[in-house]
């Protein structure tokens, strides 16, 4: 399903794009996405963010970060 089908606010979902859109060296997607999330929390003045990453072989992981 798409963001539209799920009724998600595009101003809050994937605001900086994924690892490929951001550009990253091979094997550094997680660090690149996490750093972008941390900088984005400050830039948007929000307290909670979620980053999800896929790994080879269908694995996946998520991390919720709270700014305190």
The rounded mean pLDDT for the chain is: 85
Predicted pLDDT of residue 58? 77
Query: How confident is the model over 17-48, as pLDDT tens digits?
Result: 776 777 767 777 788 888 999 999 999 999 99
For residues 9 and 47, give the distance between their C-alpha atoms in angstroms, rounded to a whole number: 17
For residues 38 and 57, give the distance between their C-alpha atoms in angstroms, rounded to a whole number: 27
Q: With 0-12 CB in 10 A as exposed, 13-18 as middle and 19+ as buried, what is 40? A: middle
Kindly state the percentage of the chain with pLDDT values over 70. 96
For residues 65 and 34, give the distance between their C-alpha atoms in angstroms, rounded to a whole number: 9
Predicted pLDDT of residue 45? 96
| Structural domains in the chain, sorted by start | 3-66 (3.40.47.10)
Predicted pLDDT of residue 39? 94
Predicted pLDDT of residue 47? 96
């Amino acid at each position: 399903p798409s963001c539209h089908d799920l009724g998600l606010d595009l101003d809050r979902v994937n605001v900086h794009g994924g690892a490929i859109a951001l550009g990253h060296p091979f094997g550094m997607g997680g660090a690149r996405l996490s750093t972008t999330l941390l900088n984005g929390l400050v830039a948007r003045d929000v307290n909670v963010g979620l980053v999800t990453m896929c790994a080879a072989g269908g694995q996946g992981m998520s991390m919720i970060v709270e700014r305190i």
